[in-house]
Structure 1
C-alpha cells in the first residue's frame, strides 16, 4: 500500500506539530518559572521527550514514501519515547513526594539507556508498515519487552498521582493532582500510536493527546497554580509569541526564510527572558512587601492586645490602690487636725509631707483610671450646653495664686462679643483647661501666660500662650502620647507621669475637637490650642 498525503492528512499532520510546539513551550515555561524546583526540572525533561515524540511523528508523516527516511524519523521518535516510562515514574514520585520509591528511579533510567542502544537493532524494529494515515516501523521481540516496561511506568505514574489525591490535605493540592491525573491520562492515549507497529491500522487519535494534555496542564497552571506557578501577562504574551514563531519556523520550506525566522525566534526568546525576569523580580519584591506588611499587621495586632492587657492591668491596679490610699489620706488628715491629740511642729511637717504625697498618688491613680476608661470605651460623658468662657474664668481664679507666687502675669483676653455655648462635659473640659494652665505655670519661670478664646467657622478656638521653656520640634509630634514628657519636665518636674496631655487629647477628640501645640523650640515659649464645635442653632 502506498501512502499518498491529501488535504485531510495534511491537516492531521499539523496536530503533532502543534502538540510538539505547545508541549515544548509549556516545558520551558515551567522550567523558567522555578528552575530550582525538582518537579519543574523533571517536567521540563518530560516535555522534551514528548516533543521529540510528536515532532518526529510530524516529520515521519511526510517521509512514508521513502522507507529509509521514514525509519530514520521513527528511530528519532524512540529517542524520546524510550525515556517516557522512566521520566513518568520519576515525575510521579516527585509530584506525590514519595521518597521511599526514589531508589527505583535510577533503575528506570538505566533500563531506558539500555534500550536506547537497541533502537537501530532489527530485534527492536524492522521494515516499514504503510497504512492510510501514515507509516510505522514493525515491532520486533525487544519492542515487546519495551512495551511491557512502558506500561509498567505509566501504571506507576497514575498509581502515585492517585496516592497524592488521596493523601493531599489541602483542597488546592487535590485539585492540582486531579488536573495532572486527567492531563496525563489523556496523554497516555498516545500509546495507541504503537498499534501500527503491530500492523494495526488506526486513525491517529494519538496525535491529539499531546495537545489536549498541554492545554489541560496550562489551564491548571493558570487557574490553580500547578507547579506553584503564578502566571503573569508578560509571560503569556512572550510564550505565545515563541509558540507562533516556532510553528512558523517548522512549517517554512524556504531555507533562507527559515534562517531569518530562526534568528528572529532567538532574539525574541532572549528579550522575552529579560522581560520575564524583570517582571518576576518586581512581583517577588511586591510579594515580599506583602509578606512584610502581613507580619507588621500581625505584630501590630499583638501590640494592641498587649496594650489592652496593660490597660486592663492598670485599671485593676488603680482600683486596688485607690481604696488604701484614700484610707491613708483620711487618717493623715485626721492626724493633722489633731483628732487624737496635740502634735508638735516637727510631727505636723512630716505628716503634711505624707498628705501631699498621698494627694499626688491619688491624682495619678485617678488619671490612670480615666485613661483606662477612655481606652476601653467605658468613659461616661455628661454633655450639656456650657459657656467655655465661664470654665476658663473659674480655672484662672483657682490657679492665679500659683502664677502670682512665681511673679507671672496670667490673663484672659476675652472676645469682644458674647460667644456661643458648646455641648460638652463641663467637668472634663474644666480638667483639660486646668491641666493646660497648670503646665504653663510650671514650665514658665518669667514673663506672662495669655489665654484667648475666639470663634472660627463652626468651632471655638482656645489658646494658651506662655513665655516658658518651649518644646523642640522633634518632641512635638509625640507630646500627646502616653508617658511622653519634654526634657525639662523629666529633669525639673519629676512628679508628673506624662499622662495629662494624653488624657486631654483623648477628651478633646471625644468631643469631636482637635488639640495641638506650636513652639519655635527650646526657650522660645509655646502655644497650646484646642477646638470644640459650637452648638448649631435649630
Structure 2
C-alpha cells in the first residue's frame, strides 16, 4: 500500500481527530521554522564570535580531508567504478565548498551563489551514481539513463547560472542576501528527486543483499547521507528559501564530512583497515586545530583556561578513541582471517570427502576380487597365498574403517563414528600390528620391543578401531626414530587398559604436545624432517579412543630426547 492511500484511509477513519492532529502538526512545524529563523538571525548578529580565520581553517581542513579520502579510495582500486565515482564526488564537493564560501565571504556574491548551485548539480548526480553502483566495480546504470541524467544536468546547470534562479542581491535587515527565483524551485525539485531515488536505492540494496559485509557498508553510507541531507535541509535550504538567511552556509564543510567519511570507510573497509584510523586522526586533528586557534584567540584568562581545558579533554578522548579503534580493527582482522580459514577448511573437507568416496568405490571392488581369490573362484589357493590374502584382507578392513571415519569427519558429524563392540584379546591386536610394521622398522635398522601380557583381561572394544590406534602410534614412532628401539607396552592400570609406544627419536616441545591430537596438526620437529603425512593419524586415534570412553596422551623430555604416545580405555565401557 502506498503512503498516500494509507494516509487517506487514516484520515477517513479518524475524521476530525486526524484533521485536528494535522493542524497541530502544521502549527508545530511552522513554529519550529520560526524558532529556527530567529535562532539563525540572532546568531548572524553575533557573527563576530566566528572569526574569518576560524571559518577559513574549517574550510581548509575539510578540503584536506576530502583530498585524503578521495586519494586513498582511488588508490585502493583505480579500476573500480565505485572508487572512481567517489573520487569525482570528493573533487566536486571540494569545488562546491570553495564556491559556497566565496558566495558569502567577505560579502554576498551573486556570481558565486549561482556557481554554488552549478556545482551542486553534478554533486547530486554523483551521489545517485555512487548509490546505484556501490559496491560493484562496473557502472550499473543503463547507457540511455546515464545520457538522460547528463542532459538534465547540463540543462539545469545553464538554468542555475541565469537570473531565473538567483535574481539579485537584496537587503534583509542589516545584512545582504540573495533573492531566489522560479529556477530555484526547479533546481530543488530535481535535487530532491535525485536524493529520494538515492535513498530508495540504498534501502533496496540493504534489504536484498545477502552478504553481511555489503549490507553493513550500505547502512553506513545511508546513515551518513541522511545525516548530511537533514543538516543541509533544516539549516541551509529552508532558511535560505523561506527566510533569506544564509548564516548556516559557513557550516557546510562540516556537513559534507558526515557523508564522505563513512562512505569512504564503507568502500575500502574490507581492503584497507587503516583508513578508519586515518579518517579518525584527521577529524580529531581538525577539532584540535579549531580548539587550539580558539585558545590562541582567547581574550581573558578565564576564557583561556576554559579553552585550554577543552583542548586537554579533546587530546585525552582522542587518545582513547585511537586505542579503541586499533583494538576494534585488530579484532576485525582476526574475524576476517578466521572466516577465510573456515572457508578454506570447508573446501578442503569437501575435496577430501570426494576423494574418499571415489577411493571407497575402488576399495570395495578390490575387496570383492581378493574374496573371490581366497574362495577359490579362479584357482585353489596355496597355504602361503591364503596367509598373504588374509593379511591383505585385514589391511583392506583397516583402510575401510579409516575411510568411513574420514568421511564422517569431513561431513561435519564426528559422532557418526560407529563402533562394533566385542570381547577382544588386546595382545592379539597389538601382535598383528607389530607383525605388519616389523619389516618397515627393519629397513631403518630399528627393533620393535613387544612382549605379550597374558595376565591382561579381554577388552570390550571395536577391534579394528583400537588396532588402527596402535598402528598409528607405532607407525609414527618408527618414522620419527632413526636408531634404537621402539617399545610397545600393554598393562592394566586400575580398571583401565594402558597402552604406550615409546621411542628414542626426535622428541618434541611442550607446545607441540598440545597440538598433536588436533586435526591437520603436526609437531615442529616432524615438519622440519619433511616427513610424509597430513596430521590426521593421531587426530583419528583420539576420536577412536574417545568413542571408547578413553583418553590419549603424548609426553617428551624435549627435542632429540624421545617421546611416548599412549591411551587409556576401560576394559568395559559402562555406556555400551
How far, CA to CA, are the matches of 1:396 and 1:269 in structure 2? 73
Paired position in structure 2 for 1:299:
344
Q: Distance in 1 between matches of 2:460 and 2:41?
A: 90
Q: CA deviation at 1:92?
A: 0.8
C-alpha distance in 2 between matches for 1:505 and 1:88: 68
Partner of 2:79: none
1:306-325 to 2 correspondences below 5 Å: 306-325=351-370
2:502 alignment partner, one of 439, 442, 465: 465
Distance 1:296 1:25, change over 3 A: farther
**Does the CA contact (< 8 Å) of 1:472 and 1:519 recur in 2?**
yes
Kept after mapping to 1: 8 A contact 2:374/2:389? yes
Per the alignment, residue 123 of structure 2 pairs with 91
Which residue in 1 is equivalent to 2:545? Answer: 508
Q: Is the 8 A contact 2:449 2:485 kept in 1?
A: yes
1:129 and 2:161 aligned: no
Verify the 8 A CA contact 1:453 1:461 in the aligned structure 2: yes
Bigger drift between 402-411 and 156-165 goes to: 402-411
Aligned to 2:419: 381
Residue 305 (structure 1) shift:
1.8
Q: Report the equivalent of 1:35.
A: 70
Aligned to 1:365: 396
C-alpha displacement of 1:370 = 0.9
Q: Secondary structure at the match of 1:74?
A: coil
Shift of 1:326: 1.6
Deviation, structure 1 residue 497: 12
Q: Partners in 1 of 2:420 and 2:59 — Cα distance? A: 76
> Hey, what's the Cα distance between the residues in 2 that align with 1:244 and 1:381?
74
1:453 matched residue in structure 2:
491
**Counterpart contact for 1:466–1:526, Cα < 8 Å:** yes
Say which SS state the counterpart of residue 335 (structure 1) adopts: coil
Report the CA distance shift for 1:9/1:90 in structure 2 as closer, same or farther (over 3 A): closer
The structure having more radius of gyration, on CA atoms, is 1
Query: Matches of 2:325 and 2:205 in 1, distance apart?
Result: 26
Show the counterpart of 1:330: 375
**Does residue 429 in structure 1 map to residue 478 in structure 2?**
no
Rounded Cα–Cα distance in structure 2 between residues aligned with 1:271 and 1:33: 25
Which residue does the alignment assign to 1:13? Answer: 45
Structure 1: distance between partners of 2:359 and 2:200: 53
Which residue matches 1:198?
Answer: none
Query: Which residue number in structure 1 is paired with residue 81 of structure 2?
Result: none
Whole-angstrom distance in 1 between the partners of 2:536 and 2:564: 19
**Separation in 1, partners of 2:484, 2:465:** 29
- Cα displacement (A) at 1:42: 2.6
> What CA deviation, in whole Å up to 9, does each residue of 1:94-146 have, x standing for no partner?
1111753457878988998999xxx9xxx965xx7362xx3226x7xxx77xx
Contact kept? 1:367, 1:499, Cα under 8 Å: no
Deviations 1:507-526 (A, max 9, x none): 2243341144759889x876
Q: Mark the runs of 5 or more structure 1 residues left unpaired by the alignment.
A: 1-5, 57-71, 196-203, 338-347
Q: Note closer, same or farther for the CA distance 1:434–1:224 as it changes in structure 2 (3 Å cut).
A: closer
Q: Any conservation in 1 of the 2:160–2:183 contact (CA below 8 Å)?
A: no
Alpha-carbon distance in structure 2 between the residues aligned to 1:207 and 1:301? 60
1:380 deviation in Å?
A: 1.9
* Structure 1 residues 152 and 16: CA distance shift in structure 2, 3 A: farther
Q: Partner of 1:191 in structure 2? A: 240
Aligned residue number for residue 4 of structure 2: none
1:91, distance to aligned residue in structure 2 (A): 0.7
Deviation at residue 189 of structure 1 after TM alignment: 1.7
1:157 to 1:441, Cα distance in 2 relative to 1, 3 A: closer
Deviation (angstroms), 1:31: 1.4
Q: Which runs of 5+ in 2 are unaligned?
A: 1-37, 72-86, 130-140, 207-217, 270-274, 409-413
Distance 1:430 1:529, change over 3 A: same
Q: Pairwise CA RMSD of aligned residues? A: 6.5
CA distance in 2 between counterparts of 1:167 and 1:185 reads 20
Paired residues in the alignment total: 459
Aligned pair in 2 of structure 1 residues 392, 244: CA closer, same or farther (>3 Å)?
same
Instruction: Output the CA distance in 2 between the equivalents of 1:273 and 1:311.
Output: 56
Change (3 A) 1:404 1:53: closer
Q: 1:411 aligns with which of 435, 451, 465?
A: 451
Out of 144, 150, 157, the residue aligned to residue 191 of structure 2 is 157
